[in-house]
């Protein structure tokens, strides 16, 4: 089963078209293995991307270098998945 320990979900706020295009450049870098939960669309609409831990630093440096704002929406994806599994398992044992 895929493990998502250390994966983070960043919520990126691209304020203009140039920044949206910059984020689209990220989308094309397959080696980063980014998973866009909400793809780059229009300025102002949130862009959510799951970032595997090996890529986190590179992505954050890229965004900061281009002055693109972001917040960390999910600190550790696997932690939320563990909670989800526990909740399902707890129900089933009950």
Partner 1 sequence: ARSTDTFNYATYHTLEEIYGFMDILVAEHPQLVSKLQIGNSYEGRPIYVLKFSTGGNSRPAIWIDTGIHSREWVTQASGVWFAKKITQDYGQDSTLTAILDSMDIFLEIVTNPDGFAFTHNKNRMWRKTRSLTEGSSCVGADPNRNWDAGFGMPGASSNPCTETYRGKFANSEAEVKSIVDFVKNHGNIKAFISIHSYSQLLLYPYGYKAEVAPDQAELDQVAKSAVTALSSLYGTKFRYGSIIKTIYQASGNTIDWSYSQGIKYSFTFELRDTGRYGFLLPASQIVPTARETWLALCAIMQHTLNHPY
What's the closest the beta carbon of residue 93 comes to partner 1, in angstroms?
12
In contact, 70 and 10? CB cutoff 8 Å? yes
CB of 32 to partner 1, least distance (A): 13
Q: Which is nearer to partner 1, 1 or 65 (CB)?
A: 1
Q: What is the DSSP letter of 6?
A: T
Residue indicated by tokens 């089963």: 1
* DSSP state string for 8-63: EEEEEE--SHHHHHHHHHHHH-GGG--EEEE---STTS-EEEEE-HHHHHHHHHHH
1 or 67: CB nearest partner 1: 1
**Residue placing its CB nearer to partner 1 in the complex, 54 or 61:** 54
In the complex, the residues that contact partner 1 under the rule CB under 8 A are: 1-2, 4, 9, 30, 35-42, 45-46, 48, 50, 73-74, 77, 80-81, 83-84, 87-88, 91
């Amino acid at each position: 089963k895929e493990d998502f320990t250390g994966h983070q979900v960043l919520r990126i706020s691209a304020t203009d078209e140039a920044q949206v295009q910059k984020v689209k450049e990220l989308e094309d870098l397959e080696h980063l293995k980014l998973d866009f939960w909400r793809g780059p669309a229009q300025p102002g609409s949130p862009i959510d991307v799951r970032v595997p831990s090996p890529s986190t630093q590179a992505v954050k440096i890229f965004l900061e270098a281009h002055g693109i704002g972001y917040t960390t929406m999910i600190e550790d994806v696997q932690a939320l998945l563990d909670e989800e599994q526990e909740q399902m398992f707890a129900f089933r044992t009950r």
